[in-house]
Amino acid sequence: MPALQIPYIRNFAPHILSVLRIFAAGSFFTHGTMKLFSWPAPFEYPLNPLLFTAGVLEVVGGLLLVFGLFARPVAFLLSGSMAFAYFIVHSSNGFFPVLNHGEAAMLYCFLFLYISAAGPGVWSLDALRERKAGTTSSRLETAT
């Protein structure tokens, strides 16, 4: 007999994935708005071209992920940007993420990598587009 299982929770996995995507992307979005718009708080470092690019990726990518539009490629791109951020900015300050202040970058990296593999969940514009495409194709198949 497997260890503790909560069988009914599996039914909610696609919904929980959507909630995880929405909250993570919303939080990620605010990192970009801080850099570009000083909202919800001013960014504490001078904005160089690398940070400006990161801010644009965080705002645009964060919004796309909040809505679940083009989620897989966007999440993959953002995962790579967070890996880049971790190794360029944080890892030079030591090995452990808790000490080099790279925990957020590391967590976003693997969270977005997971979303790129698993998809955005059922509450997303991508899922809506797939349902509509499936409905259209099934209508076409029955008409022929």
In the predicted structure, residue 139 carries a pLDDT above the cut 90: no
Mean pLDDT of 44-52: 96
Q: What are phi and psi of 61, to 5 degrees?
A: -65, -40
- The answer to whether 143 touches 117, Cβ cutoff 8 Å, is no
Does pLDDT of 36 surpass 70? yes
Chain segment 93-127, per-residue pLDDT in tens: 998 999 999 999 999 999 999 999 999 999 999 99
CB-based contact 35:58 (threshold 8 Å)? yes
Tokens standing for 43?
A: 């960014």
Judged against a pLDDT cut of 90, whether residue 136 lies above it is answered with no
Mean pLDDT of the chain: 92
Judge whether residue 17 has pLDDT over 70.
yes
Tell whether the model's pLDDT for residue 135 goes beyond 90. no
Q: Tens of pLDDT along 71-80? A: 999 999 999 9
pLDDT average, residue stretch 39-68: 97
pLDDT value for 9: 87
Q: What is the pLDDT of residue 134?
A: 86
Is residue 34 within 8 A of residue 21, CB to CB? The reply is no
C-alpha–C-alpha distance, residues 20 and 133, integer Å: 25
